[in-house]
Amino acid sequence: MQNEGDTKKYASLIAGYRDIDSRRFDEMWSKEGTIQPHWRDFMRAQERFGPDDIDARKLELDGLLRENGVTYNAYTEGASDNRPWDLDPCPLVLAGDEWGQLEPALIQRGELLNALYKDLYGPQRLMKARILPPDLIFQHPGFCRAAVGMPLPGQYALVQSAFNLVRGTDKQWWVLSDRLQTMQGAGYALETRLAMSRVYPNLIRHCEVQRLAEYFRHAHQSLVDAAEVDDPHVVLLSPGPSNESYFEDAYLANYQGYTLVQGDDLVVRDGYVWLKTLHGLKKVDVILRRISDQFSDPLSLRPDSFIGVPGLIESMRQRKVVVVNPIGGWLLESPGLYPFLERCCQYLLGEPLKIPSAATWWCGQPTAFAHVIKNIDKMVVKHVSERADIAFGHLLSKPQQQQLIDRIKQNPAMYVGQQMLNVSTMPSWTDQQLKPRHGFLRTFMSASRSGYQLMPGGLACVAREQGQSVVNTQAGAVNKDTWVRASEAMPLRPYAPKEHGAAVQERELRVISSRTAENLFWLGRYSQRAEMVARIMRQVINSFYDEFSEQGQPLASAGKLMAALRQFTDDLPLIADTGAEVDLNQSQSQSQSQTQSPDITAELYNIAVDKNMSRGMHSILASLHRSAFHSRDVWSNDSWRVIDDIGEVVTKLRGHSSLGSLQRGLDKLLSSLMALNGLIADSMNHDDGWRMLDIGRLLERTINLSHLLEFTVSCKVSDNETEVLTALLSANDNEMNYRRYYRGEMDAQSVLDYVLLNRFNPRGMVYQLDHLQQHIRQIFADDGSQISAAERSVLSAYSQVQLADVSQLVVENEVHCRPGLTQLMKHIQQSLEVTSSELSNECFVHSQKSRSSEWSGSES
């Protein structure tokens, strides 16, 4: 009766379970045809929601993850393909009492692997006692000879670890693999939980799902304990933005308050590891390593590594830095160890192994080799060090099986055969139904002085298609939150917030890597370049619809603005300034002749949407997004949503078919850019990172304004100057504020006075140069004996503007040009280019590629 009751009650949701294999264990559906008890609360809620509502929640999840920038780079689809994180709205639900039995078994496994690491890189008693074959250890490429005898801080060598688990038909959990180098997934698990909390807030509370925050607090404490110093400086060492899980690296660094670094951000001097910052070198105490063993130190390990830290191994030997996890953990991930773990556990811990691995035969032993060869069609054959080298014997033809056998025979010690597990299934929301899919659960564990602690839950992955045997994120698996329900044996633990002392807060406010500072500096420049180009384009379009324009023709000011726009976007070299007045006049005449375009409309569309225009809007905003992504750890979710919105607006610009719709697209783009400016001002700590970003903004805005003045006001257009001046003010977002100061007729002298010299105008030149000088002085703060070269060049421009006589700047020569204004603008541009170069030389010289020539304000 219960079978019929559940089947009828949830008929619309579980229709996909009609053909489930009764021989296989399913997490939700019992063999008796009923819903498992710990799933009932969730299923009742799903039944109330209905398929359409669940689909809507799935879309909401996708939107939240997309807005937060949650991606996983799938190499199988191209190295630059940032694929959105695909999250199933149906979690994996586990009973609390069951988890209470699994937790001590996994903690024991962590203790075993920790003891195994200490032995293999220490006394090597297991090999001396002939429990582990030497060939299994020494032939593995993960055996790190540089780690032998290396001193380890504290009780635990393996501070963090992760395990991939599956269930068999008997409901028994099995360890599929261990992860001890880079434990990817914990950050994704947290972001996944936060997204699910938004979609199912009341249900999560009703189901009394164990929280994850306490685990991350414990994980942070594990790093503090490993450092054995008060107030350690912790950095997270990432392979960089090209890595598939860079989002997670940035997310964890941001969440835990660590400094996100790459290999070239760190340097070893006098045995210590130092972080390159704008204020010199800052000592690093703990490195949370997210790069593989062999790439960690090009001096001691792989010399072709460009992501490691030269000298890191020696610093570890001298106990001058703690690396979590230490080098050498790759060896312990070998499935070749599995046949020997039971005896290792008895020898090292004096107790039987509580959670088994899949039955495994190491081919380095003759009897095991013969067994694998004989039963090749029933085996899963794995390479001991290459995760991707997996073959399912039953899926191979006879010739393919023979090729596999021949490959094993070439080096038997590098292969194992594993028993094919009849892996359980778990429900996945597909086509408005719950359908059974093969999957696995990744759990995470960290150690501190109080022992190992397991994350209550973890990250589950299921196959997209029914019967699919290979399940991994690279192959496009669907991710699932894991809910561990509370029980009497495991009560719901409240979250205790992390406490910081004042010294910690001050240090974290100051420390920023030079690489991050460079990306923020260029993001500031890209954002202002995009804003100026968009404002000029919008003003040109407005001139088509002005009441004084002739039908189908823009105002005369459009030609002036287009000349300035080409300055910002054309790939052609600019007209050189020889310094002679006659050449200057000729240059201005040539600039004026460029104002006539046979098809301004087509040119505007090209600037807006042409991907091949290296300095067009698409390229500018692609560079902005790249700089933001490379500094992902400094951005709040709200800021990142705005950054993503900017990219979406640019994509939508391609769909506009008229000037009016293009104008509306530019309006939305400018709104997003202004929102980004507001969030930068209000959400970022006003530390070195914010200061470098604002320096980039001020520098680019001042250079852009100088070019705009040069191309609009330096040569007069007869009888149309008021129109040009109005367009200039509007393009600089100054028209309304100008009219509040000057209520009379608009003229060049009053406009220049406001745009150049008004100290209260945030878009005026004096204001920009004044704040730019202040920021640079704080960046290069020293004993005050001498100002920096960067500040000196800004001071030169600032002084020239301050000393300028506006009445002289508007004086015209015989061809109606204003050489005094042009010369002043040229001086400002040259001075600020020197500033940009000096900043690059002083702050960013360690970067792999300097961009000072890529985006100078005045290329030549």
The overall longest dimension of the chain from CA atoms, in Å, is: 102
For range 661-682, the mean pLDDT: 89
pLDDT for res 718: 59
pLDDT at 653 over 90: no
- For residue 601, the number of C-alpha atoms closer than 13 Å in the C-beta half-sphere is 11
Q: Band of the pLDDT at 744, cuts 50, 70, 90?
A: confident
For range 697-725, the mean pLDDT: 87
355 occurs within a structural domain:
no
Q: What 8-state DSSP symbol labels residue 598?
A: T
Mapping DSSP to helix (H, G, I), strand (E, B) and coil, where does residue 545 land?
Answer: coil
Alpha-carbon span 471 to 478, nearest angstrom = 9
Using alpha carbons, list the distances in angstroms from residue 143 to 88, 120, 160, 172, 301: 38, 9, 19, 32, 11
pLDDT for res 585: 38
308 occurs within a structural domain:
no
Residues 815-838 pLDDT 10s: 888 999 999 999 999 999 999 999
65 occurs within a structural domain:
no
Contact residues for 532 (Cβ-Cβ < 8 A; gap 6+): 568, 700, 701, 704, 708, 731
Using alpha carbons, list the distances in angstroms from residue 708 to 40, 135, 575, 836: 67, 72, 15, 19
For range 618-625, the mean pLDDT: 90
Contact residues for 190 (Cβ-Cβ < 8 A; gap 6+): 212, 216, 251, 255
Yes or no: say if 61 and 89 are a contact pair by the CB < 8 Å rule.
yes
Q: What 8-state DSSP symbol labels residue 758?
A: -
What is the value of pTM for the model shown? 0.86
Read off the tokens for 576. 């050189």
560 occurs within a structural domain:
yes
Q: Which residues of 447-467 are buried (b: 16+ CB within 10 A; e: fewer)?
A: bbeeebbbbbbbbbbbbeeee
Q: Please classify residue 421 by burial: count the beta carbons closer than 10 Å to its beta carbon, then call 0-12 exposed, 13-18 middle and 19+ buried.
A: middle
Average pLDDT score over the chain = 85
pLDDT at 763 over 90: yes
Yes or no: say if 460 and 442 are a contact pair by the CB < 8 Å rule.
yes
Side chain identity at residue 427, one-letter code: P
811 occurs within a structural domain:
yes
Q: Band of the pLDDT at 72, cuts 50, 70, 90?
A: confident
For range 617-630, the mean pLDDT: 90
577 occurs within a structural domain:
yes
Alpha-carbon span 393 to 145, nearest angstrom = 35
Alpha-carbon span 262 to 278, nearest angstrom = 16
333: left (phi over 0), alpha (psi -120 to 50) or beta: alpha
**How many CB atoms are located within 10 Å of the residue 122 CB?**
15
Residues 476-509 pLDDT 10s: 689 999 999 987 555 555 444 444 444 444 444 5
Residues spanned by the domain of 830? 519-843
Q: Distance from CA of residue 307 to its chain's centroid?
A: 16
pLDDT for res 491: 55
Q: Beta partners for 72?
A: 83
- Cα three-residue angle 644-541-661, rounded to 5 degrees: 50
pLDDT for res 329: 93
pLDDT for res 501: 43
Total domains, the chain = 1
pLDDT at 855 over 50: no
405 occurs within a structural domain:
no
Residues 14-40 pLDDT 10s: 877 876 766 778 899 888 888 999 999
In 3D space, the residue among 195, 258, 507 whose CA is nearest the CA of residue 249 turns out to be: 258
Residues 73-101 pLDDT 10s: 644 433 345 567 889 999 999 999 999 99
Q: Band of the pLDDT at 465, cuts 50, 70, 90?
A: confident
Element at 437 (helix H, strand E): strand 433-448
771: left (phi over 0), alpha (psi -120 to 50) or beta: alpha
Element at 647 (helix H, strand E): helix 637-653
Q: Band of the pLDDT at 581, cuts 50, 70, 90?
A: very low
Share of the chain above pLDDT 70, in %: 87
In 3D space, the residue among 514, 566, 436 whose CA is nearest the CA of residue 30 turns out to be: 436
Read off the tokens for 338. 């599995």
627 occurs within a structural domain:
yes
Alpha-carbon span 55 to 67, nearest angstrom = 18
Q: Which long-range contacts (CB under 8 A, 24 or more apart) does 367-375 make?
A: 368/339, 368/417, 369/408, 369/412, 371/417, 372/408, 372/415, 372/416, 372/417, 373/405, 373/408, 375/417
